């Protein structure tokens, strides 16, 4: 498996952007990535006032590289970039060595702090 982390800085983002990002992920982005061909999972992570990140786990290196090649040309106009007011500050491709599912199981969907 092959991962990709795409990170935006929230240091200079407008006030209230964390709530806007949560709403966008739950109301739109979650559906877009659910069932996406070649994608095992996507996690949206955030530390309010610091950063917002999409972390992807792809089946193959080719799936990851194809996604990244398609995303980068439009990075400045991606919904997250538009809300935050700037494009991503970092792209980090990585190898996923293993994933373990804990006893609590895996639940898909919105987490705490969402509408």
Domain 2-95 indexed as CATH 3.30.70.100: yes
What does the domain layout of the chain look like in residue ranges?
2-95
Strand-pair category, 2-9 with 51-58: antiparallel
**Res 114: pLDDT:** 58
pTM of the model: 0.91
| pLDDT per residue of the chain (115 residues) written in tens, 0 to 9 | 999 999 999 999 999 999 999 999 999 999 999 999 999 999 999 999 999 999 999 999 999 999 999 999 999 999 999 999 999 999 999 999 999 989 988 877 777 765 5
Q: Is the dihedral of CA 91, 96, 100, 106 positive or negative?
A: positive
């Amino acid at each position: 498996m092959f991962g990709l982390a795409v990170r935006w800085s929230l240091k200079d983002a407008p006030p209230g952007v964390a709530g806007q990002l949560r709403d966008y992920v739950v109301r739109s982005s979650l559906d877009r990535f659910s069932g996406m061909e070649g994608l095992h999972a996507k996690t949206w992570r955030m530390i309010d006032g610091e950063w917002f990140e999409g972390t992807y786990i792809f089946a193959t290196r080719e799936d990851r590289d194809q996604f990244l090649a398609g995303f980068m040309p439009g990075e400045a106009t991606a919904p997250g970039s538009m809300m935050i007011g700037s494009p991503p500050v970092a792209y980090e491709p990585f190898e996923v060595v293993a994933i373990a599912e804990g006893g609590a199981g895996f639940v898909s969907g919105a987490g705490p702090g969402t509408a």
